[in-house]
Structure 1
């Protein structure tokens, strides 16, 4: 068994193993583990259809359905042709071949397909990943379209073709099928803004446009129009999460909403990218000095517990990337901008020196997201931060003062226990270092955090910062 690409992106020919003897033949028409390992998408089929054709020459198509399918022959022989009906550079591209018991074809959504039987009593099947819905409109193409120039073995005038298929338009009259679009949830936050810049064609929503905790809003949203959903929405008020109202808000945004997206991802077939935090660990670092993706969760406070619950929920989706990060810095309120403002105001802050981790700039998270989606490593959890040696918040504050043209000695060290005394703050993990080996193994090399900090500060003015 092996998989062969074609000139139409995503259209894959599968050469199947057929076992024959005097009784007939047997084949594995869909074998998920084998086929996914060979490069076929794990497209999550939900329906299997059979088409029986009593006479040679029965010709159907060219139809463009909004779902993926795996087409194969049960008995007989079929000449099959495909035309790319998706908007883009390959619109109108064609591919054709003869299907027999040993050949199957994966047809992605938006590629028109047509089949002409070459023997009486031919049966072919197609395994699809969405249910047929009455009233669904999609492009069709005339079987004799001159630009497609499909080499039909049986002339169309001698073939059996329905009146409906004879009335299909030629290519110049076809409206291409629009591509599915990326959806960014939480687009107004620090990370959401970076994702919007990295994915400029994406649909951008915040809670006002789409409240994932509102069943009616979720039911009304056109999820089938998206192939990727980037969930940058989160409740991040760590200390307020310890209050009764904050606890409810944290669990709604950080646990319930991701669970809803995980369910929708499997229902509608999109890839879910969700962003998590090193707070899902208690901060105890092993001898290697970094939390790995498979380390058991051990959250301390309410915020951390709600994020951990979201991680578990997202992990149930078939197509998901859970991006775990730490110490996020972007556009908006954050530690770096606060320190920059304090330096400009002549304030000498005390900053904790026993919490250790790495900064993560939102542009780096967005770049890593694009890398994962384009490189296509195995679905699952990936740690992503900027690179370089771990630092404390005290180290970062001193660097901000220095790079802003102020004396770094104005920053004094303190412990987490001393800083938190009498303030009723939520617990913080002391060890926030994330091991980056897994994401590096995919070909992504994180930029050094201090280099990114220097560039970030150069782009900021002291007046832009606000106290967190």
Structure 2
């Protein structure tokens, strides 16, 4: 099977490259090979490769930076996925695309289900929601997988930042009123590999939008606390954590306070079991 993976150096893409090894003929295109901000090149490149499956792990993920460059964010996060969906449908190939908890405004008390109304607060969130809508408008075989708080041992993410700051400072203030599920990029990649395998076996569930995060919940401060506990277990001296509200740490882009996603539909329809966030974090740190 010929698989086209868009995105090369991102956290999810790097884990997908490991998880899909041996699954088929994998072609990986990064920004140097295909700039998703240039829509005229997307159709041409994908038609030339004629993949049997397209995975879009590329995105404009600089949440705060997107506030000052909305056109670029929408080109990559909204226009490009729509074009990919069109080409995939023309070739009869499924499209797997990753989205985000930021399509919600976080005002709901309960975890968000796929059927709940979206109301993104930021340019990033609006661009990702527009990408979802562009794919849905085309139809065809597609999976839109919404995830949250992605981290790994490479790239730029909260885990690596905290590992550094906790060992550099005596005191560290971290937001404590945003709640979600830290999700290891490997968890996303392994779940994606399972979805692909079930599709290949003809055991696929309904196509559409699904939530895919680790299980359980915590705050950013709670996430930092778990990282600090691991560092202490390794004999490291770490900073004292000070929980603060979001209002004490203003950012250009507003974040949802409730980023919890209900992932039960993915389990029911595709039998995907997702790990607890603490167990996944420990596995990541020890890997």
Q: TM-score, normalization: structure 1? A: 0.56
The answer to whether the 8 Å contact 2:57/2:98 transfers is yes
Q: 2:99 aligns with which of 276, 281, 290?
A: 276
The answer to whether the 8 Å contact 1:230/1:272 transfers is yes
Displacement of 1:222: 4.7
C-alpha distance in 2, partners of 1:220/1:298?
A: 34
Q: Hey, what does 2:172 align to over in structure 1? A: 349
Q: 1:329 aligns with which of 145, 148, 151?
A: 151
The change in CA–CA distance for 1:219 and 1:258 in structure 2 (over 3 A counts) is closer
Higher helix fraction (1 or 2)? 2
Structure 1 residues 24-103: aligned runs within 5 Å: none
User: Larger deviation: 257-266 or 406-415?
Assistant: 406-415
Map Cα deviations across residues 406-443 of structure 1 (whole Å, 9 max, x no partner). 567711100001111xxx52100000000011011121
- State the Cα RMSD in Å: 1.6
Q: 2:20 aligns with which of 199, 220, 231?
A: 199
The change in CA–CA distance for 1:222 and 1:248 in structure 2 (over 3 A counts) is closer
Displacement of 1:219: 4.1
Displacement of 1:216: 4.3
Displacement of 1:227: 0.9
The answer to whether the 8 Å contact 1:272/1:321 transfers is yes
Structure 1 residues 4-403: aligned runs within 5 Å: 180-200=1-21, 201-223=25-47, 225-243=50-68, 246-286=69-109, 289-316=110-137, 317-330=139-152, 331-375=154-198, 376-387=204-215, 389-403=216-230
**Counterpart secondary structure, 2:249:** helix
The answer to whether the 8 Å contact 2:170/2:239 transfers is no
Displacement of 1:344: 2.1
Q: Hey, what does 1:27 align to over in structure 2? A: none
C-alpha distance in 1, partners of 2:78/2:209?
A: 16
Q: TM-score, normalization: structure 2? A: 0.90
Displacement of 1:346: 3.4
5+ long unaligned stretches in structure 2: 199-203
Answer with 1 or 2: which has the greater Rg: 1
The answer to whether the 8 Å contact 1:275/1:323 transfers is yes
Displacement of 1:457: 1.9
C-alpha distance in 2, partners of 1:385/1:439?
A: 10
The answer to whether the 8 Å contact 2:59/2:77 transfers is yes
**Counterpart secondary structure, 2:115:** coil
The answer to whether the 8 Å contact 2:43/2:87 transfers is no
The change in CA–CA distance for 1:347 and 1:204 in structure 2 (over 3 A counts) is farther
The answer to whether the 8 Å contact 2:104/2:118 transfers is yes
Q: Could you say which structure has the greater relative contact order, defined with CA pairs below 8 angstroms and 6 or more residues apart? A: 2
The answer to whether the 8 Å contact 2:167/2:238 transfers is no
C-alpha distance in 2, partners of 1:259/1:216?
A: 12
The change in CA–CA distance for 1:291 and 1:222 in structure 2 (over 3 A counts) is closer
Residue 425 in 1 paired to residue 252 in 2?
Answer: yes
Q: Hey, what does 1:446 align to over in structure 2? A: 274
5+ long unaligned stretches in structure 1: 1-179, 460-468
**Counterpart secondary structure, 1:261:** helix
C-alpha distance in 2, partners of 1:193/1:347?
A: 33
Map Cα deviations across residues 221-263 of structure 1 (whole Å, 9 max, x no partner). 25362111110111111111111xx211111111111111111
The answer to whether the 8 Å contact 1:315/1:322 transfers is no
Displacement of 1:445: 0.9
Map Cα deviations across residues 327-361 of structure 1 (whole Å, 9 max, x no partner). 00122111011111112223421001100000111
Displacement of 1:305: 0.6
Map Cα deviations across residues 135-180 of structure 1 (whole Å, 9 max, x no partner). xxxxxxxxxxxxxxxxxxxxxxxxxxxxxxxxxxxxxxxxxxxxx4
Displacement of 1:266: 1.2
The answer to whether the 8 Å contact 2:228/2:238 transfers is yes
The answer to whether the 8 Å contact 2:167/2:239 transfers is no
C-alpha distance in 2, partners of 1:297/1:381?
A: 13
